[in-house]
Amino acid sequence: MKICVLPGDGIGPEIIAEAVRVLKALDLGIEMEEAMLGGCAVDATGSPYPDATQKLAQAADAVLLGAVGGPQWDNNPREQRPERGLLGIRKQLGLFANLRPAILYPELANASTLKPEVVAGLDILIVRELTGDIYFGQPRGIETRNGERFGFNTMHYTESEIRRILRVAFEAARKRNRKVCSVDKMNVLECTQLWRDVAIETGREHPDVELSHMLVDNAAMQLVKNPKQFDVMVTGNMFGDILSDEASMLTGSIGMLPSASLDANNKGLYEPSHGSAPDIAGKGVANPLATILSAAMMLRYTFADEAAAGRIEGAVKKVLAQGFRTGDIYEPGMTKVGTREMGDAVLAAL
Ligand code: NAD
Protein backbone atom coordinates (compact mmCIF):
# COMPACT_ATOMS: atom_id res chain seq x y z
CA MET A 1 0.00 0.00 0.00
CA LYS A 2 1.50 3.25 -1.17
CA ILE A 3 0.13 6.67 -0.34
CA CYS A 4 1.10 10.00 -1.83
CA VAL A 5 0.77 12.62 0.94
CA LEU A 6 0.15 16.23 -0.12
CA PRO A 7 0.01 18.59 2.87
CA GLY A 8 -0.64 21.67 0.69
CA ASP A 9 -1.09 25.17 2.09
CA GLY A 10 -2.42 26.99 5.15
CA ILE A 11 -3.48 24.55 7.87
CA GLY A 12 -2.79 21.64 5.46
CA PRO A 13 0.60 20.62 6.94
CA GLU A 14 -0.73 20.80 10.52
CA ILE A 15 -3.79 18.61 9.95
CA ILE A 16 -2.01 16.17 7.64
CA ALA A 17 0.67 15.57 10.29
CA GLU A 18 -2.03 14.25 12.66
CA ALA A 19 -3.61 11.99 10.03
CA VAL A 20 -0.17 10.58 9.21
CA ARG A 21 0.47 9.86 12.89
CA VAL A 22 -2.84 7.99 13.11
CA LEU A 23 -2.08 5.91 10.01
CA LYS A 24 1.38 5.07 11.34
CA ALA A 25 -0.07 4.04 14.70
CA LEU A 26 -2.30 1.47 12.97
CA ASP A 27 0.87 -0.22 11.75
CA LEU A 28 -0.64 -1.46 8.48
CA GLY A 29 2.63 -1.36 6.56
CA ILE A 30 1.57 1.63 4.50
CA GLU A 31 4.33 3.39 2.58
CA MET A 32 3.97 7.17 2.57
CA GLU A 33 5.77 9.76 0.50
CA GLU A 34 5.20 13.51 0.60
CA ALA A 35 5.07 15.95 -2.30
CA MET A 36 3.94 19.50 -3.03
CA LEU A 37 0.60 20.67 -4.40
CA GLY A 38 -0.94 24.14 -4.55
CA GLY A 39 0.58 27.45 -3.53
CA CYS A 40 3.65 25.92 -1.86
CA ALA A 41 4.41 24.14 -5.15
CA VAL A 42 3.99 27.38 -7.12
CA ASP A 43 6.49 29.09 -4.82
CA ALA A 44 9.01 26.26 -5.07
CA THR A 45 8.70 25.27 -8.74
CA GLY A 46 6.43 27.74 -10.56
CA SER A 47 3.74 25.08 -11.07
CA PRO A 48 0.83 24.18 -8.74
CA TYR A 49 1.09 20.51 -9.79
CA PRO A 50 4.79 19.88 -10.50
CA ASP A 51 6.06 16.86 -12.46
CA ALA A 52 7.51 15.16 -9.39
CA THR A 53 4.10 15.31 -7.68
CA GLN A 54 2.38 14.00 -10.80
CA LYS A 55 4.70 10.99 -10.91
CA LEU A 56 4.17 10.19 -7.25
CA ALA A 57 0.39 10.64 -7.41
CA GLN A 58 0.09 8.41 -10.46
CA ALA A 59 2.23 5.67 -8.94
CA ALA A 60 0.44 5.66 -5.56
CA ASP A 61 -2.67 3.64 -4.64
CA ALA A 62 -4.19 6.66 -2.95
CA VAL A 63 -3.56 10.35 -2.33
CA LEU A 64 -4.10 12.05 1.02
CA LEU A 65 -4.44 15.82 0.68
CA GLY A 66 -4.63 18.62 3.26
CA ALA A 67 -5.90 21.73 1.46
CA VAL A 68 -4.60 24.27 -1.02
CA GLY A 69 -4.89 28.01 -1.49
CA GLY A 70 -4.42 31.29 0.28
CA PRO A 71 -4.72 35.02 -0.35
CA GLN A 72 -1.04 35.38 -1.33
CA TRP A 73 -1.74 33.46 -4.56
CA ASP A 74 -5.15 34.94 -5.42
CA ASN A 75 -3.74 37.41 -7.94
CA ASN A 76 -1.42 34.96 -9.69
CA PRO A 77 -1.98 34.25 -13.39
CA ARG A 78 -4.61 31.50 -13.76
CA GLU A 79 -2.02 28.78 -14.52
CA GLN A 80 -0.20 29.55 -11.27
CA ARG A 81 -3.16 29.43 -8.91
CA PRO A 82 -3.31 26.70 -6.27
CA GLU A 83 -6.80 25.52 -7.38
CA ARG A 84 -5.31 24.73 -10.78
CA GLY A 85 -3.24 22.07 -9.05
CA LEU A 86 -6.35 20.57 -7.52
CA LEU A 87 -8.25 20.50 -10.82
CA GLY A 88 -5.15 19.10 -12.51
CA ILE A 89 -4.73 16.15 -10.16
CA ARG A 90 -8.47 15.33 -10.20
CA LYS A 91 -8.51 15.33 -13.98
CA GLN A 92 -5.26 13.40 -14.42
CA LEU A 93 -6.33 10.65 -12.02
CA GLY A 94 -9.78 10.33 -13.63
CA LEU A 95 -11.62 10.85 -10.35
CA PHE A 96 -15.28 10.75 -11.39
CA ALA A 97 -16.97 9.85 -8.10
CA ASN A 98 -17.07 12.28 -5.20
CA LEU A 99 -18.18 10.84 -1.86
CA ARG A 100 -19.08 13.25 0.90
CA PRO A 101 -20.47 11.92 4.13
CA ALA A 102 -22.40 14.31 6.35
CA ILE A 103 -22.29 12.89 9.83
CA LEU A 104 -23.42 14.71 12.93
CA TYR A 105 -22.11 13.11 16.08
CA PRO A 106 -24.73 13.36 18.83
CA GLU A 107 -22.20 15.24 21.00
CA LEU A 108 -22.03 18.04 18.39
CA ALA A 109 -25.77 18.40 17.74
CA ASN A 110 -25.73 22.01 18.99
CA ALA A 111 -23.28 23.02 16.23
CA SER A 112 -26.04 22.72 13.63
CA THR A 113 -28.39 25.61 12.91
CA LEU A 114 -31.22 23.05 12.73
CA LYS A 115 -33.05 21.69 15.76
CA PRO A 116 -31.03 18.93 17.46
CA GLU A 117 -33.87 16.40 17.10
CA VAL A 118 -33.83 16.89 13.31
CA VAL A 119 -30.08 16.34 12.91
CA ALA A 120 -28.70 14.45 15.94
CA GLY A 121 -27.26 11.15 14.75
CA LEU A 122 -27.42 12.21 11.08
CA ASP A 123 -25.33 9.93 8.83
CA ILE A 124 -25.79 10.40 5.09
CA LEU A 125 -23.47 9.99 2.13
CA ILE A 126 -23.74 12.17 -0.96
CA VAL A 127 -22.29 10.59 -4.11
CA ARG A 128 -21.73 13.22 -6.78
CA GLU A 129 -20.63 12.63 -10.37
CA LEU A 130 -17.56 14.79 -10.87
CA THR A 131 -16.40 14.81 -14.49
CA GLY A 132 -19.51 15.22 -16.65
CA ASP A 133 -22.80 17.14 -16.83
CA ILE A 134 -23.37 20.79 -17.70
CA TYR A 135 -20.04 21.79 -16.08
CA PHE A 136 -18.10 20.15 -18.91
CA GLY A 137 -20.65 19.95 -21.74
CA GLN A 138 -19.98 21.51 -25.16
CA PRO A 139 -21.09 23.74 -26.81
CA ARG A 140 -20.92 26.50 -24.24
CA GLY A 141 -20.28 30.21 -24.31
CA ILE A 142 -21.59 33.74 -24.51
CA GLU A 143 -22.35 35.06 -28.00
CA THR A 144 -24.29 37.84 -29.61
CA ARG A 145 -27.42 36.58 -31.32
CA ASN A 146 -30.18 38.74 -32.83
CA GLY A 147 -28.48 41.83 -31.45
CA GLU A 148 -28.29 40.75 -27.82
CA ARG A 149 -25.94 38.67 -25.66
CA PHE A 150 -26.82 35.01 -25.43
CA GLY A 151 -25.36 32.62 -22.83
CA PHE A 152 -25.59 28.84 -23.17
CA ASN A 153 -24.34 25.56 -21.69
CA THR A 154 -25.04 21.96 -22.55
CA MET A 155 -26.12 19.30 -20.09
CA HIS A 156 -25.26 15.80 -21.19
CA TYR A 157 -24.53 12.33 -19.84
CA THR A 158 -23.83 9.06 -21.58
CA GLU A 159 -25.47 5.98 -20.13
CA SER A 160 -22.06 4.52 -19.22
CA GLU A 161 -21.20 7.65 -17.23
CA ILE A 162 -24.48 7.36 -15.33
CA ARG A 163 -24.16 3.63 -14.77
CA ARG A 164 -20.65 3.83 -13.28
CA ILE A 165 -21.58 6.50 -10.71
CA LEU A 166 -24.79 4.63 -9.81
CA ARG A 167 -22.70 1.51 -9.24
CA VAL A 168 -20.40 3.44 -6.86
CA ALA A 169 -23.50 4.55 -4.93
CA PHE A 170 -24.93 1.02 -4.73
CA GLU A 171 -21.59 -0.43 -3.61
CA ALA A 172 -21.25 2.29 -0.95
CA ALA A 173 -24.82 1.58 0.23
CA ARG A 174 -23.88 -2.08 0.68
CA LYS A 175 -21.32 -0.92 3.27
CA ARG A 176 -24.03 1.13 5.02
CA ASN A 177 -27.83 0.89 5.35
CA ARG A 178 -28.57 -0.39 1.81
CA LYS A 179 -30.68 2.55 0.65
CA VAL A 180 -29.98 4.68 -2.42
CA CYS A 181 -31.94 7.80 -3.36
CA SER A 182 -31.21 8.91 -6.92
CA VAL A 183 -31.82 12.61 -7.50
CA ASP A 184 -32.82 14.02 -10.90
CA LYS A 185 -35.11 16.52 -12.64
CA MET A 186 -36.74 14.08 -15.05
CA ASN A 187 -39.96 16.07 -15.26
CA VAL A 188 -38.14 18.85 -17.13
CA LEU A 189 -34.74 17.63 -18.41
CA GLU A 190 -34.40 14.77 -20.91
CA CYS A 191 -30.81 14.22 -19.84
CA THR A 192 -32.01 13.37 -16.36
CA GLN A 193 -34.84 11.20 -17.72
CA LEU A 194 -32.00 9.06 -19.06
CA TRP A 195 -30.39 9.30 -15.60
CA ARG A 196 -33.55 7.89 -14.03
CA ASP A 197 -33.89 5.11 -16.63
CA VAL A 198 -30.28 4.00 -16.09
CA ALA A 199 -30.69 4.26 -12.31
CA ILE A 200 -33.64 1.85 -12.51
CA GLU A 201 -31.63 -0.55 -14.69
CA THR A 202 -28.64 -0.39 -12.35
CA GLY A 203 -30.96 -0.92 -9.41
CA ARG A 204 -31.99 -4.28 -10.89
CA GLU A 205 -28.33 -5.37 -10.62
CA HIS A 206 -28.47 -4.62 -6.87
CA PRO A 207 -31.71 -6.15 -5.59
CA ASP A 208 -30.38 -6.13 -2.02
CA VAL A 209 -30.33 -2.29 -2.03
CA GLU A 210 -33.56 -0.25 -1.85
CA LEU A 211 -33.68 2.34 -4.65
CA SER A 212 -35.85 5.47 -4.58
CA HIS A 213 -35.97 8.57 -6.79
CA MET A 214 -36.46 12.21 -5.91
CA LEU A 215 -36.66 15.42 -7.93
CA VAL A 216 -33.83 17.77 -7.04
CA ASP A 217 -36.07 20.59 -5.77
CA ASN A 218 -37.81 18.20 -3.39
CA ALA A 219 -34.44 16.71 -2.36
CA ALA A 220 -33.21 20.18 -1.36
CA MET A 221 -36.31 20.60 0.82
CA GLN A 222 -36.21 17.11 2.32
CA LEU A 223 -32.55 17.55 3.31
CA VAL A 224 -33.57 20.39 5.60
CA LYS A 225 -36.94 18.98 6.67
CA ASN A 226 -36.06 15.39 7.47
CA PRO A 227 -32.46 14.59 6.53
CA LYS A 228 -32.34 11.35 8.50
CA GLN A 229 -34.62 9.67 5.91
CA PHE A 230 -31.57 9.37 3.61
CA ASP A 231 -28.73 6.86 3.56
CA VAL A 232 -26.91 7.33 0.22
CA MET A 233 -27.95 10.07 -2.23
CA VAL A 234 -26.54 9.93 -5.75
CA THR A 235 -26.77 12.66 -8.35
CA GLY A 236 -25.05 14.48 -11.21
CA ASN A 237 -22.31 17.05 -11.05
CA MET A 238 -24.36 20.25 -10.78
CA PHE A 239 -27.12 19.00 -8.47
CA GLY A 240 -24.45 17.26 -6.38
CA ASP A 241 -22.40 20.43 -6.09
CA ILE A 242 -25.32 22.17 -4.43
CA LEU A 243 -26.78 19.28 -2.41
CA SER A 244 -23.43 18.19 -0.97
CA ASP A 245 -22.77 21.69 0.39
CA GLU A 246 -26.29 21.84 1.77
CA ALA A 247 -25.85 18.44 3.44
CA SER A 248 -22.49 19.36 4.95
CA MET A 249 -23.97 22.50 6.47
CA LEU A 250 -26.61 20.42 8.25
CA THR A 251 -23.82 19.40 10.57
CA GLY A 252 -22.56 22.94 11.21
CA SER A 253 -19.00 21.74 11.73
CA ILE A 254 -16.86 21.91 8.60
CA GLY A 255 -13.78 20.76 10.55
CA MET A 256 -15.39 17.32 10.93
CA LEU A 257 -16.23 16.42 7.32
CA PRO A 258 -14.05 14.13 5.18
CA SER A 259 -14.36 13.45 1.45
CA ALA A 260 -13.20 10.98 -1.17
CA SER A 261 -12.90 11.21 -4.95
CA LEU A 262 -12.56 7.84 -6.67
CA ASP A 263 -11.59 6.53 -10.09
CA ALA A 264 -12.91 3.36 -11.74
CA ASN A 265 -10.51 1.13 -9.77
CA ASN A 266 -11.13 2.62 -6.33
CA LYS A 267 -7.92 4.61 -6.43
CA GLY A 268 -8.80 7.78 -4.61
CA LEU A 269 -7.96 11.27 -3.49
CA TYR A 270 -8.94 11.82 0.13
CA GLU A 271 -9.23 15.26 1.69
CA PRO A 272 -11.19 17.22 4.26
CA SER A 273 -14.20 19.12 2.85
CA HIS A 274 -12.88 22.41 4.20
CA GLY A 275 -10.24 24.70 2.73
CA SER A 276 -6.81 25.84 3.89
CA ALA A 277 -8.21 28.21 6.57
CA PRO A 278 -5.48 30.89 6.19
CA ASP A 279 -7.01 32.82 9.12
CA ILE A 280 -5.85 30.17 11.61
CA ALA A 281 -2.86 28.67 9.75
CA GLY A 282 0.30 28.16 11.82
CA LYS A 283 -1.50 28.66 15.12
CA GLY A 284 -1.90 25.00 16.00
CA VAL A 285 -5.64 25.34 16.56
CA ALA A 286 -7.11 23.73 13.40
CA ASN A 287 -9.38 20.73 13.80
CA PRO A 288 -7.56 17.69 12.34
CA LEU A 289 -10.56 15.33 12.58
CA ALA A 290 -11.87 15.84 9.02
CA THR A 291 -8.44 14.84 7.72
CA ILE A 292 -8.15 11.90 10.11
CA LEU A 293 -11.62 10.75 8.99
CA SER A 294 -10.49 11.15 5.35
CA ALA A 295 -7.70 8.67 6.12
CA ALA A 296 -10.39 6.30 7.46
CA MET A 297 -12.31 6.65 4.17
CA MET A 298 -9.10 5.80 2.33
CA LEU A 299 -8.74 2.57 4.28
CA ARG A 300 -12.39 1.70 3.57
CA TYR A 301 -12.68 2.58 -0.13
CA THR A 302 -9.19 2.10 -1.58
CA PHE A 303 -7.74 -0.57 0.71
CA ALA A 304 -11.04 -2.34 1.59
CA ASP A 305 -9.96 -2.47 5.24
CA GLU A 306 -13.27 -1.87 6.99
CA ALA A 307 -11.85 -2.90 10.36
CA ALA A 308 -9.06 -0.30 10.33
CA ALA A 309 -11.45 2.40 9.05
CA GLY A 310 -13.86 1.53 11.84
CA ARG A 311 -11.08 1.75 14.41
CA ILE A 312 -10.26 5.33 13.40
CA GLU A 313 -13.93 6.35 13.35
CA GLY A 314 -14.48 4.70 16.72
CA ALA A 315 -11.51 6.59 18.16
CA VAL A 316 -12.90 9.91 16.88
CA LYS A 317 -16.29 9.16 18.46
CA LYS A 318 -14.51 8.36 21.70
CA VAL A 319 -12.55 11.63 21.89
CA LEU A 320 -15.77 13.57 21.27
CA ALA A 321 -17.50 11.61 24.02
CA GLN A 322 -14.53 12.39 26.29
CA GLY A 323 -15.21 16.09 25.71
CA PHE A 324 -12.15 17.08 23.65
CA ARG A 325 -12.93 19.99 21.31
CA THR A 326 -10.89 22.21 18.99
CA GLY A 327 -12.00 25.85 18.82
CA ASP A 328 -14.38 25.38 15.87
CA ILE A 329 -16.54 22.86 17.76
CA TYR A 330 -15.96 24.14 21.30
CA GLU A 331 -18.83 24.54 23.76
CA PRO A 332 -18.54 25.68 27.38
CA GLY A 333 -17.84 22.80 29.75
CA MET A 334 -15.74 20.88 27.21
CA THR A 335 -11.95 20.55 27.11
CA LYS A 336 -10.47 22.93 24.54
CA VAL A 337 -7.47 21.46 22.72
CA GLY A 338 -5.21 22.35 19.79
CA THR A 339 -4.42 20.36 16.65
CA ARG A 340 -1.63 18.30 18.16
CA GLU A 341 -3.49 17.55 21.39
CA MET A 342 -6.52 16.41 19.40
CA GLY A 343 -4.21 14.07 17.48
CA ASP A 344 -2.80 12.83 20.79
CA ALA A 345 -6.33 12.14 22.06
CA VAL A 346 -7.21 10.14 18.93
CA LEU A 347 -3.99 8.13 19.26
CA ALA A 348 -4.76 7.41 22.91
CA ALA A 349 -8.30 6.32 21.98
CA LEU A 350 -6.92 4.02 19.25
P1 NAD B 1 -12.05 27.43 4.58
O2 NAD B 1 -12.79 26.14 4.64
O3 NAD B 1 -10.60 27.36 4.43
O4 NAD B 1 -12.39 28.28 5.89
C5 NAD B 1 -13.72 28.70 6.24
C6 NAD B 1 -13.77 28.95 7.77
O7 NAD B 1 -13.74 27.70 8.44
C8 NAD B 1 -12.58 29.75 8.30
O9 NAD B 1 -13.00 30.59 9.34
C10 NAD B 1 -11.65 28.67 8.85
O11 NAD B 1 -10.84 29.12 9.92
C12 NAD B 1 -12.64 27.61 9.31
N13 NAD B 1 -12.06 26.26 9.20
C14 NAD B 1 -11.88 25.54 8.06
N15 NAD B 1 -11.29 24.37 8.33
C16 NAD B 1 -11.11 24.33 9.67
C17 NAD B 1 -10.54 23.38 10.56
N18 NAD B 1 -10.04 22.21 10.13
N19 NAD B 1 -10.50 23.68 11.87
C20 NAD B 1 -11.00 24.84 12.33
N21 NAD B 1 -11.55 25.77 11.55
C22 NAD B 1 -11.60 25.53 10.22
O23 NAD B 1 -12.71 28.25 3.37
P24 NAD B 1 -12.30 29.69 2.78
O25 NAD B 1 -11.91 30.62 3.87
O26 NAD B 1 -13.41 30.04 1.87
O27 NAD B 1 -11.04 29.40 1.86
C28 NAD B 1 -9.69 29.59 2.29
C29 NAD B 1 -8.75 29.11 1.20
O30 NAD B 1 -8.94 27.70 1.02
C31 NAD B 1 -8.99 29.75 -0.17
O32 NAD B 1 -7.75 30.02 -0.75
C33 NAD B 1 -9.75 28.69 -0.93
O34 NAD B 1 -9.52 28.77 -2.31
C35 NAD B 1 -9.15 27.42 -0.37
N36 NAD B 1 -10.01 26.24 -0.47
C37 NAD B 1 -9.38 25.07 -0.74
C38 NAD B 1 -10.10 23.89 -0.81
C39 NAD B 1 -9.36 22.61 -1.07
O40 NAD B 1 -8.14 22.58 -0.96
N41 NAD B 1 -10.03 21.55 -1.41
C42 NAD B 1 -11.48 23.90 -0.57
C43 NAD B 1 -12.10 25.12 -0.25
C44 NAD B 1 -11.35 26.29 -0.20
Q: What is the pLDDT of residues 245-259, one digit of tens each?
A: 899 888 878 889 999
- Hey, which residues are catalytic here? 135, 185, 217, 241, 245
pLDDT at residue number 245: 87
334 burial level (CB within 10 Å; 0-12, 13-18, 19+): middle
Is the Cβ–Cβ distance between 64 and 294 less than 8 Å? Answer: yes
pLDDT of residue 44 exceeding 90, the answer is: yes
pLDDT, tens digit, for every residue of 281-317?
999 999 999 999 999 999 999 999 999 999 999 999 9
Band of the pLDDT at 42, cuts 50, 70, 90?
very high
Q: Whose CA is nearest to atom 10 of ligand 1?
A: 277
117 lines ligand 1 (CB under 6 A): no
Band of the pLDDT at 83, cuts 50, 70, 90?
very high
pLDDT of residue 54 exceeding 80, the answer is: yes
- Phi/psi of residue 337, nearest 5 degrees: -130, 165
Neighbours of 241 (CB within 10 A): 16
Q: How large is the average pLDDT for residues 51-57?
A: 98
Pocket test for ligand 1, best of 259, 261, 273, 274 (most atoms within 8 A of CB): 274
What are the structural domains of the chain? 1-96+263-350 (3.40.718.10), 105-253 (3.40.718.10)
- 194 CA distance to ligand 1 middle (Å): 36
The answer, as to whether pTM is greater than 0.75, is yes
- 277 CA distance to ligand 1 middle (Å): 4
Neighbours of 307 (CB within 10 A): 9
